[in-house]
Structure 1
Amino acid sequence: MERKLRAYSLIKTLFVLVALANAGCHREVAMPPLPLRNITSTDKFFDVWPTSPTRAFVVGDRGKVLLTEDGGRNWKRIDIGTQLGIFGIQMTDDQNGYLCGQDGLVMRTRDGGKTWKRLDSRTHLFIFGLSFPDANHGFFVGDRALVLSTTNGGESFIKRHLQKIFPPEISDYALPYEEPVLYSTSFTDVDHGWVVGELGRIWATENAGKSWTEQQLSLLPQYKYPTGPNDDLRFNDFLLPTFFSVSFRDPKHGAACGLEGWVIQTSDGGKTWTFAHQADKPGAPPDTLVPGAPHFPARDPLFSIDLFGGDQGITTGLTGTVLRLQPNGAWARDPRVPAVPFTLSQARFFDALHGWIVGGPAGTILYTEDGGKTWRFCQG
């Protein structure tokens, strides 16, 4: 019995040695790393800026900046040296541009986006929007009623807080309405610009930001919000919906959109604004809904609006909402845009044919080269 156990032990040892020897005869095969994708399923994109029919920058969460030169077929990631979220970008020409985002982030490029330099914004507040009528004059807006302006390409900034000054006798009651967030700005030239934000704020300047006037008061007679017993009528204009985006095609014609899914329009530079009606599909008659009325059905918030060309417009929002401006002035749902269940943060057209829509959290980038008749999902 002992001899059998010894024999079994010897056979087992030989088997192990042979196995080790065979293993040593084979080289270890290195698996190639998975390719790093520039666009992933977790990306959140907040803004897009085209500089030609096929060239565009896309920015988003975690400091991501992408550039395409061929209409979104291929993408290059640009390392800007930060992981902060980027909420807005604008190129003033092929070489000069700016971006903004979290923690007071403001950056500038002078070489077509190859490199970006962080500028001293003098704030750590979130900056949500920007508008540059030329390479040197620009405005940024953000949290706590922040407005930054520069006349020298970001070498220095003037900082102000654009908010209503309340009389001393009601200042204590006005605390909830102080320092509203400002989300978007649009300048058609150095002098003429608009800012929109929280609690229905609309501000306008005609002298390059030296002075500002409120413009939302013309909306109050149209907004039939029922006041309650605890509502203070002195703050009625703060019951208007928050506006997230504003766009002007010239100093007279502009539009804004926001929280309750409404679009507002002006044809006189904002002296008067009107709520625009919507239609279920192109060619359908406008609805007859009353803004602010208690029976108002739920609509998706609208986060971006872009007026382009002589008479075109597009707005995007939550759960893939896309509306296009119709010849009768109404905004209709656009069935030609692929249905996605995600937020569409921004739409911008370079011209009447070439345009982009971006969003997330699924890394959504859409591109059209036929005026929106067809859209292509971009991957990379």
Structure 2
Amino acid sequence: MERKLRAYSIIKTLFVLIALATAGCHREVAMPPLPLRNITLSDKFFDVWPTSPTRAFIVGDRGKVLLTEDGGRTFKRIDIGTQLGVFGIQMTDDQNGYLCGQDGLVMRTRDGGKTWKRLDSRTHLFIFGLSFPDTNHGYLVGDRALVMSTTDGGESFIKRQLQRLFPPEISDYALPYEEPVLYSASFVDVDHGWVVGELGRIWATENGGKSWQEQQQSLLPQWKRPLGPNDDARFADFLLPTFFSVSFRDQKHGAACGLEGWVIQTDDGGKTWNFAHQADKPGAPLDTLVPGAVQIPARDPLFSIDLFGGDQGMSTGLTGTVLRLQPNGAWAHDPSVPAVPFPLSQVRFFDATHGWIVGYGTILYTEDGGKTWRYCQG
């Protein structure tokens, strides 16, 4: 009998404790959820487009689109109605703009980026880059040598594959070089533009895309890498490094960068291109590396390049690499940019003073021409 009473007492005590705990929970003040951060280390930002010294759009993975109007001190997230990755964005003015991305994604805004409408691109290929010289005329490039153009603001698109046509007698050998990916386009007006991509492709047009000319041939004599045992001399210009980004200041002056960390430059509209030398830091001696020669350690791939102002330029790459154009035409590692051990996908300047760098979990802003940079926390 005593054992039963003891057991009953223990059970009663447990019920009392549970009741007290439950009552205590009901008396607790509910804590509001932590605010969602607009910028996290897991974000992958691919492009940025400033529309004023302090206003800019930033796009990235999983359909993420951010807008800042105060130089990156605060950001507003814009719901574009998709989780597809956004690879590129361009605003042609304060109200009109376009973006592109995965699964043939092309969208347009007519209200300053508040709302975005998906356009019928008639493709499911990835679209990696775009260039709109004005609100109605635009060019988009992507997978499998895709080039799309519009003259009516995206109401309709003309599609083509921008690639070399090989003679029938070597077409079987040319299979590895067919349909190269095109990554970037730069148009300075509705007629003059350039496209770069995989396998060293450089294409140019002077008539709004009605016809295109290859321009990478001038790089072949400079590229000293010997042919490998499985390389075919008939396709030597397809063994040039892949180019990820191209930027033209005007119809004459342009630059591109890519996979093996090289920058190429032209001052005659691409009739001739030259590999640019690099330096460890501004004012340091230029390297003597021969283009195509094996370098140990290898250079970081360069993902973006931007020519801005009258004579400025900057390029960003894999492990936080940032190069700055020097007065002598060389490119030097820029110590002014904070050391970031992450890929830096894009650099863009609104003018010679105000600029942005975005990448994986990173947004940087300068308002003094790149002398100092500020981390944007979101």
* Residues 289 and 296, structure 1, Cα contact 8 Å, conserved in 2: no
The answer to whether structure 1 residue 48 and structure 2 residue 48 are counterparts is yes
CA distance in 2, matches of 1:39, 1:128: 22
Equivalent in the alignment of 2:108: 108
Note the 1:227-238 alignment, pairs <5 A: 227-238=227-238
- Are 2:327 and 1:327 aligned? yes
* Partner-residue secondary structure (3-state), 2:319: helix
With over 3 angstroms needed to count, the CA separation of the structure-2 counterparts of 1:12 and 1:58, relative to structure 1, is: same
Paired letter, 1:132: F
CA change 1:173–1:7 in 2 (3 A) is closer
Counterpart for residue 275 of structure 1: 275
Contact 1:96 1:111 in 2 (8 A): yes
What per-residue deviation string (whole Å, max 9, x for no partner) do you get for residues 256-315 of structure 1? Answer: 000110000000000000000001110112111110124575100000000000000000
Q: Deviations over 1:345-369 (max 9, x none)?
A: 0000001111000001xx1000011
Query: Who is 2:117 aligned against?
Result: 117
Tell which deviates more after alignment, 126-135 or 33-42.
33-42
The equivalent of 1:207 in structure 2 is 207
In the TM superposition, 1:1-380 aligns within 5 A as 2=1, 4-23=2-21, 25-26=23-24, 27-29=26-28, 30-294=30-294, 297-360=297-360, 363-380=361-378
Cα distance between partner residues in 2 of 1:210 and 1:48: 29
Q: 1:22 is paired with a residue of what secondary structure?
A: helix
Distance (Å, rounded) in 2 between the aligned partners of 1:283 and 1:341: 24
Q: Which amino acid is the alignment partner of residue 287 of structure 1?
A: D
Aligned length: 376
Q: CA deviation at 1:25?
A: 4.1
Q: Decide whether aligned partners of structure 1 residues 42 and 230 sit closer, same or farther in structure 2, where only a CA change above 3 A counts.
A: closer
- Using the TM superposition, give the Cα deviation of residue 225 of structure 1 relative to its aligned residue in structure 2, in angstroms: 1.2
What residue ranges of structure 2 are gaps of 5+ in the alignment?
A: none
Sequence identity of aligned pairs in percent? 83
**How far, CA to CA, are the matches of 2:245 and 2:7 in structure 1?**
80
1:199, 1:290 → 2: CA distance? Answer: 19
Gaps of 5+ in 1: none
- The SS at the match of 1:100 is strand
Quote the RMSD (CA, aligned, Å): 1.3
Cα distance change, pair 177–21 in 1 and its aligned pair in 2 (3 A): closer
Give the whole-Å Cα distance in 2 for the aligned partners of 1:334 and 1:175. Answer: 41
Q: Name the CA shift for 1:18/1:354 in 2 (closer, same or farther; >3 Å).
A: same
CA distance in 2: counterparts of 1:297 and 1:262, whole angstroms: 14
- CA 1:295–1:72 in structure 2 vs 1: closer, same or farther (change >3 Å)? closer
User: How far off its partner does 1:168 sit?
Assistant: 1.1
Q: For each residue in 1:149-192, what CA deviation from the matched residue of structure 2 results, as whole angstroms up to 9, or x when unmatched?
A: 00000000000000001111111111110000000000000000
| Whole-Å separation in 1 of the counterparts to 2:60 and 2:79 | 13
Specify whether residues 43 and 172 from structure 1 end up closer, same or farther in structure 2 by C-alpha distance, changes over 3 A only.
Answer: same
Report the CA distance between 1:14 and its aligned residue. 4.2
Change (3 A) 1:277 1:12: same
Deviation at 1:227, TM superposition (A): 1.5
| Preserved CA contact (<8 Å) 1:322 1:333 | yes
Taking structure 1 as the reference length, the TM-score comes to 0.96
Please tell me whether the aligned partners of residues 226 and 294 of structure 1 are also in contact (alpha carbons under 8 angstroms).
no
Tell me, in whole angstroms, the C-alpha distance in 1 between the residues paired with 2:141 and 2:261: 22
Q: Deviations over 1:171-215 (max 9, x none)?
A: 111111000000000000000000000000000000000000000
- TM-score with structure 2 length normalisation? 0.97
CA displacement 1:323-342 (0-9 Å, x = unmatched): 00000100000011010111
